[in-house]
Amino acid sequence: MPETKYKKTEDFNEWYNEIVELADLCDKRYPIKGMNVWRPYGWKVMNHIDRLIREQMDATNHQEVSFPLLIPESSFQKEADHIEGFGSEVYWITHAGANKLEERWLLRPTSETAMYPMFSLWIRSHTDLPLKTYQIVNTFRYETKQTRAFIRVREIHFFEAHTCHVDFEDAEQQIREDKEIAGRLLKKLCLPYLFCKRPDWDKFAGAHYTISIDVLMPSFRTLQLGSIHQYRDNFSKPYEISYETETGKHVYCHQTTYGMSERILGALIGIHGDNKGLVIPPEVAPIQVVIIPIIFKGKEGPVMKACEVIEKELADAGLRVHLDAREITPGNKYYDWELKGVPLRIEIGPKDVEKKAVVIVRRDTSEKHSISQKEAKQQVLSQLDTIAATLYANAQKLLDEHVYRLQTAEEVQEKKGIIELPWCGTEDCALEIENLLDGNTLGEPVEDTTTKASACPVCGKPAKTWMRYAKTY
Amino acid sequence: MPETKYKKTEDFNEWYNEIVELADLCDKRYPIKGMNVWRPYGWKVMNHIDRLIREQMDATNHQEVSFPLLIPESSFQKEADHIEGFGSEVYWITHAGANKLEERWLLRPTSETAMYPMFSLWIRSHTDLPLKTYQIVNTFRYETKQTRAFIRVREIHFFEAHTCHVDFEDAEQQIREDKEIAGRLLKKLCLPYLFCKRPDWDKFAGAHYTISIDVLMPSFRTLQLGSIHQYRDNFSKPYEISYETETGKHVYCHQTTYGMSERILGALIGIHGDNKGLVIPPEVAPIQVVIIPIIFKGKEGPVMKACEVIEKELADAGLRVHLDAREITPGNKYYDWELKGVPLRIEIGPKDVEKKAVVIVRRDTSEKHSISQKEAKQQVLSQLDTIAATLYANAQKLLDEHVYRLQTAEEVQEKKGIIELPWCGTEDCALEIENLLDGNTLGEPVEDTTTKASACPVCGKPAKTWMRYAKTY
C-alpha cells in the first residue's frame, strides 16, 4: 500500500498537513489565511462529533440556542478583564454598505457578552434557575501565530455551554457535571485527557478559575481541546443577572461556561492516524464499514449479490455502511478508504461466496480474518468495539508514558511530554521552569493528590501543589 | 381556552408578533435590531426544517460543505452586476484588534464570491462535473426596511446549493431537480407555493434568470421563501471556473444556485397558526404527540402507568412524544402545548384506564375522540397524516381562492391576493400595474400555459405572457 510522503514518527507536523489535505478534510487555499474551507468529508466527521456533543448536552438538560454573531461594542465593554483579554484579537465591523455605523460591532470571540444582556432579561426568579444553555457556532479570533488546520485557525467551529445558578456551590456542581460530560464524550472519541487548573495569570479573561482539557499529541506537545470556567458572580454583576430568592431578596447569579472546539478533530487526526492516513473512531466515522467486491469484469453477479446482502444486514443493524461499486481495482479502493480512516473493511470475492464467508480487515492493525457470512453482523459489531478500545488504549499508553512526575529541575533533561514538578505558588518560579523547558505552564493536576509535592525546585520553599508544564500547540 | 390578544384574521401582523414571542421562538430584544436570538423551541423547529433540507440534498447527491464567513473585497468585486446588487447591503470588517486590515473583508450576503475562487481550483476536468454542493449557514444583509422575526432580519439562517455543470442544458436539468426538491420539501411542510420567473430588472445580481418560490400569507401578501438561479457562465468567466473536455478543449462551466431561508418558519407560523398559537406540521414538530395524565393528587399510579405504556409504544414507533408530568392543572398543560403547536394531544384519566381507552385531540381542528389503547399507535400515525393533509388542503384553498387571472386593469379593484394579467414584456407597463395595485411584480408563472394571455392592459399591445403581481413582504 502506498504511504504518506511524510512519516508520522519522523515529521509529525508535515505528516499532519499531508493527511488533512489527502483525506479531503479541509482546503487551506482560501484567500484569508487561517480561515479554511470545510470539505465534504471533514465536515461529515465534524458533524458526527457535533452530534455526540448534542447528545451529551441534551441528556444533561442543556437547551440549545443560537445567538447573533455580532456584538455591540457597548455590550462587550462591560466586564473589564474580559475586554483586556480579548480586545486585541477581535474583528471590528465599522460600516454597513457605504454607511458608517453609529457604534462598532465585533464578531464574537466567545459569546458571554452577547448572551449575558439577554440572560439579564430572562432570569427573574429562583424558579428560572438553573439556566443551562449551549450553542454550536463559529467564533472568530485574530490569530497572529502560525495557523494550522483545526488546531489554530481564525474562524473556529465550537460549542459553548453557558449556565446560571443560585449560588457558588450549584455552579460547582455544574462544573462536576461538565467534567463528566467531557469524560463521556472523549471516551467515545478514544481520547484520554488531563484536566489542569490553569494558573491565575493564565485563566480565561474574567473567570474565577479555569480548568483546561488537554490531550498529548504524538509530537509530545499538548493540545488544549477546551475548557471549563467558574465565573462566580464576576459577569453577573456588570451584566446585572440577578434573581429574587424565595424570601424576596435580590441576589446575583453564579455562572459557568464550558466549551470545546474543532481541535477535537485535530486531536483525532494526530493521535489515531498513521502513515496510511486517518483512523477514525467508529462512533464518528462517516462510514464505519466499507464493503469491497473482488470481481473480474463480467462475473459480478453472485459477488455483488453477496455484498448487497451484507450491506443491507449491516445498515439494518444501524451501522453506516458503504458498498464501493466503482469500476477501479480493489487495491485502489483499499487505498482510498484507508486514507479516509474507515474502521473496518469487508472483502468479498468468488471464493468467499463459495465458502459463504467474508474477509474482514481492521484499519488500525491491518489484521485480516475470514469469517462466515452468518456471523458477519455480530463480528462487525464486536470488531468495531475492539477497534475503539484499541485506539483508546494506544492513546492512553502514549499519555501514561509521557507524564513525568519529578522532584527537581535536573531530572527534566531530555524528557518529552508533560512534566509535573512541585510548585510554591508564585508566578516567578513557574515562569523559570517554563524557560528551562522552553514550554508552558498547563496548570495544577485536578483530582490527583496521590503523592505530596515537596519543595519548589526553583526557590526551595515548601511546595503548595504540583504544577504541570509542557510544550503546547 | 385563552386566546391570543390579537386575532389572526383581524390583525395578522400583531398576531404574528405575539405568537413568535409567546411560543418562545425568538427574542427580539437583542441590542442589534433585526438580529434576533433563537430561543430553544424556535431553534428546535428550525433544526427539524434543516434536517428535511439535508435529507433532500443528500438524496440528490449534493455534498455538504462549510465555507468561511468572511470574503476579501477583491474576491467580491470580480462580478460587476453582483457588486452593484449587494454592495449597499454588506457589512465591512476594517480592523482586527487595533490593526487596520490591509484589505477590507465583508460578511457573506450569499456565498458566490467565497466559493467560486475555490471552485476554480477544484474543477479541472469534465470528470469533476457536475459539482453539487450546499451549506447551511447564516448570512448577513443590512436591511433598512422594518424588520420582522424570520421574515425580514439582518442575520439570516439559510441553505444555499451551488452547482457547476458542463453546459447550459445540464444546468437546466439541475434547475428541474431543484424545483422537484422544493416541491417535496414544501409538501412535508404543508406549504403550497408558486414558482415565478422574475422579470429581468428584478433578478438576482449576476443571474441569467431567477425563479422565485413564493407562498401566500393570510395577510394576502406573498412571502418569497427562496429562489433558484440559472447563472449560465456569468460567474464562471470572471472567476475562471473552467474544465477540460474529453477532446482537450477548455470550456467555462455553467452554474446554478438554489436557496431558501428561515422564512420557511415564518410561513409555517403565519399560514398554519391560529388564535390559540402555533400549529406545527407533524414532520417538523419537536413534539408530535403530548400525553397528559388527568389525575387527582395522590392517585397517580394506574394513570401514570397507562401514560408511560403509551409513551413507550409511540417512541418505539419512532415518534417524538412527550409525557407532561408537571404538577400543574391539565388545563394549563393544554394551553401550553396548544400554544406550542403540538399536533396531537392524548389525555388519559382514571375512567379511560378503566375502559382501556385514551382520548385523542387534534390541534388543528380540536376534534376529540375516545379510542381503545390497543389501536392508539395506529390511530396516532393515521391522525398525524390526516393533520398534515388538512393543513396542506387549507393552505391550498387559501392560495387557490386568491389567485386572480384577469384580463383588464379594471377587474383588479378590491381583489386581495395574487393578480395575473397579460403582459407585453416591457418594464414600464409592469411598473404601471405595480402602481395601480400598490404592489410588486412577482414574475411570470412557470409551467402554466393553460390559458393564453391576450392584450397588455396598459399599452394594449399583444401580450407575450402572463405576469403576476402582489403585495409582498
Which has more pLDDT, B299 or A341?
Answer: A341
- Residue B396: pLDDT above 80? yes
pLDDT of residue A449: 65
Note whether B343 and B378 are same-domain residues: yes
Q: Give which of A70, A127, A137, A140 to mutate to test B binding, by max B Cβ within 10 Å.
A: A70
Partner-chain contact B142 A63, CB within 8 Å: no
Size of interface A-B (CB pairs under 8 A): 141
**CATH assignment at residue B379:** 3.40.50.800
Partner-chain contact B155 A95, CB within 8 Å: no
| B5 inside domain | no
Mean pLDDT of B27-32: 97
**Which residues of chain B make contact with A122, given a CB cutoff of 8 A?**
27
User: What sign does the CA torsion over A17, A18, A21, A27 have?
Assistant: positive
**A323, A320, A319: which is closest to A309 by C-alpha?**
A323
| The domain boundary residue, chosen from B328, B361, B386 | B386
Note whether A137 and A28 are same-domain residues: yes
- Residue A324: pLDDT above 90? yes
Among A68, A96, A99, select the one facing B30 at the smallest CB separation. Answer: A68
Whether the Cβ atoms of residue B425 and residue B464 lie closer than 8 Å to each other: yes
**Which residues of chain B make contact with A78, given a CB cutoff of 8 A?**
none
Q: What is the pLDDT of residues A389-418, one digit of tens each?
A: 999 999 999 999 999 999 998 898 889 999
φ/ψ of B51, rounded to 5, equals: -60, -45
**Which residues of chain B make contact with A43, given a CB cutoff of 8 A?**
64-66
- Residue A1: pLDDT above 70? no
Give A331's pLDDT tier (boundaries 50, 70, 90). Answer: very high
Nearest CA in chain A to B106: A93
Q: Give which of A21, A33, A63, A93 to mutate to test B binding, by max B Cβ within 10 Å.
A: A93
Note whether A58 and A186 are same-domain residues: yes
Please report which helix (H) or strand (E) contains residue B345, including its range: strand B344-348
| The domain boundary residue, chosen from B386, B415, B437 | B386
Among B31, B40, B133, select the one facing A65 at the smallest CB separation. Answer: B40
| A188 inside domain | yes
**Which residues of chain A make contact with B122, given a CB cutoff of 8 A?**
27
pLDDT of residue A373: 95
Nearest CA in chain A to B90: A97
Give B300's pLDDT tier (boundaries 50, 70, 90). Answer: confident
Percent of chain B at pLDDT above 90? Answer: 91
**Residue B91 Cα, gap to closest chain A Cα (Å):** 4
**Residue A258 Cα, gap to closest chain B Cα (Å):** 18
Note whether B194 and B166 are same-domain residues: yes
Give A298's pLDDT tier (boundaries 50, 70, 90). Answer: low
Note whether B179 and B328 are same-domain residues: no
Mean pLDDT of A288-311: 90
**Residue A111 Cα, gap to closest chain B Cα (Å):** 12
Q: What is the pLDDT of residues A4-13, one digit of tens each?
A: 899 999 999 9
Q: Could you tell me the CA-to-CA distances from B313 to B278, B284, B308 in Å, in that order? A: 26, 20, 9
**CATH assignment at residue A97:** 3.30.930.10
A131 has which bridge partners?
Answer: A164
**Residue A156 Cα, gap to closest chain B Cα (Å):** 10
Rounded to whole angstroms, the Cα distance separating B212 from B35 reads: 24
Domain that holds residue B372: 282-386
Whether the Cβ atoms of residue B133 and residue A24 lie closer than 8 Å to each other: no
**Residue A367 Cα, gap to closest chain B Cα (Å):** 32
Position B40: which residue type? P
Note whether B350 and B423 are same-domain residues: no
Mean pLDDT of A445-465: 86
Q: What is the pLDDT of residues A49-80, one digit of tens each?
A: 999 999 999 999 999 999 999 999 999 998 87
Residue carrying C-alpha cell 454607511: A99
| A71 inside domain | yes
Nearest CA in chain A to B88: A97
**CATH assignment at residue B464:** 3.30.110.30
Tell how far CA B218 is from the center of its chain. 16
Q: What is the pLDDT of residues B424-460, one digit of tens each?
A: 999 999 999 999 999 999 999 997 766 787 899 999 9
For residue B428, the SS3 value is helix
Mean pLDDT of chain A: 95
Mean pLDDT of B171-185: 98
Note whether A450 and A363 are same-domain residues: no
Which residues, 6 or more positions from A354, have their beta carbon under 8 angstroms from its beta carbon?
none
Mean pLDDT of B269-298: 94
| B427 inside domain | yes
Whether the Cβ atoms of residue A63 and residue B40 lie closer than 8 Å to each other: yes
Residues in chain A: 473
Q: What is the pLDDT of residues B200-241, one digit of tens each?
A: 999 998 999 999 999 999 999 999 999 999 999 999 999 999
Buried b (16+ CB within 10 A) or exposed e, A290-326: bbbbbbeeeeeeebbebbeebbeebeeeebbbbbbee
Residue carrying C-alpha cell 451551488: B162
Partner-chain contact B91 A95, CB within 8 Å: yes
Partner-chain contact B32 A68, CB within 8 Å: yes
| A4 inside domain | no
Which has more pLDDT, A38 or A145?
Answer: A38
Partner-chain contact A31 B91, CB within 8 Å: no
Rounded to whole angstroms, the Cα distance separating B24 from B41 reads: 6
Rounded to whole angstroms, the Cα distance separating B308 from B316 reads: 12
**Which residues of chain A make contact with B88, given a CB cutoff of 8 A?**
97-98
How many structural domains comprise chain A?
3
- Residue A448: pLDDT above 80? no
Nearest CA in chain A to B83: A97
Partner-chain contact B90 A97, CB within 8 Å: yes
Partner-chain contact A118 B75, CB within 8 Å: no
- Residue A451: pLDDT above 80? no
Q: What is the pLDDT of residues A211-253, one digit of tens each?
A: 999 999 999 999 999 999 999 999 999 999 999 999 999 999 9
Nearest CA in chain B to A153: B68
| B244 inside domain | yes
Mean pLDDT of B242-255: 97
Q: Give which of A21, A24, A32, A111 to mutate to test B binding, by max B Cβ within 10 Å.
A: A32
**B456, B420, B423: which is closest to B439 by C-alpha?**
B420
| A431 inside domain | yes
Rounded to whole angstroms, the Cα distance separating A381 from A387 reads: 10
**Which residues of chain A make contact with B67, given a CB cutoff of 8 A?**
30, 37-38
Note whether B260 and B301 are same-domain residues: no
Partner-chain contact A36 B68, CB within 8 Å: yes
Note whether B231 and B299 are same-domain residues: no
Nearest CA in chain A to B99: A88
**Which residues of chain A make contact with B25, given a CB cutoff of 8 A?**
none
Rounded to whole angstroms, the Cα distance separating A473 from A224 reads: 8
Among B70, B92, B117, select the one facing A94 at the smallest CB separation. Answer: B92
Annotate B75-98 with DSSP letters as a single string. HHTTSHHHHHHHGGG-EEEEEETT
Q: Could you tell me the CA-to-CA distances from B316 to B305, B310, B311, B313, B380 in Å, in that order? A: 16, 10, 8, 5, 13
Among B43, B118, B122, select the one facing A66 at the smallest CB separation. Answer: B43
Among B74, B75, B87, select the one facing A97 at the smallest CB separation. Answer: B87
Partner-chain contact A96 B89, CB within 8 Å: yes
Mean pLDDT of B283-304: 90
pLDDT of residue B449: 65
| A281 inside domain | no
| pTM of this structure | 0.97
Mean pLDDT of A364-374: 96
- Residue B1: pLDDT above 60? no
Q: What is the pLDDT of residues A174-217, one digit of tens each?
A: 999 999 999 999 999 999 999 999 999 999 989 999 999 999 99
Among B43, B94, B138, select the one facing A92 at the smallest CB separation. Answer: B94
pLDDT of residue B280: 98
Note whether A347 and A413 are same-domain residues: no
Q: What is the pLDDT of residues B49-102, one digit of tens each?
A: 999 999 999 999 999 999 999 999 999 998 878 788 888 899 999 999 999 999
**Residue B72 Cα, gap to closest chain A Cα (Å):** 7
Note whether A370 and A420 are same-domain residues: no
- Residue A3: pLDDT above 80? yes
| The domain boundary residue, chosen from B245, B272, B299 | B272
Note whether A249 and A318 are same-domain residues: no
Q: What is the pLDDT of residues A8-30, one digit of tens each?
A: 999 999 999 999 999 999 999 99
pLDDT of residue A85: 81
Interface TM-score (ipTM) > 0.90: yes
- Residue A83: pLDDT above 90? no
Among B87, B96, B121, select the one facing A142 at the smallest CB separation. Answer: B96
**Which residues of chain B make contact with A51, given a CB cutoff of 8 A?**
none
Q: What is the pLDDT of residues B121-154, one digit of tens each?
A: 999 999 999 999 999 999 999 988 999 999 999 9
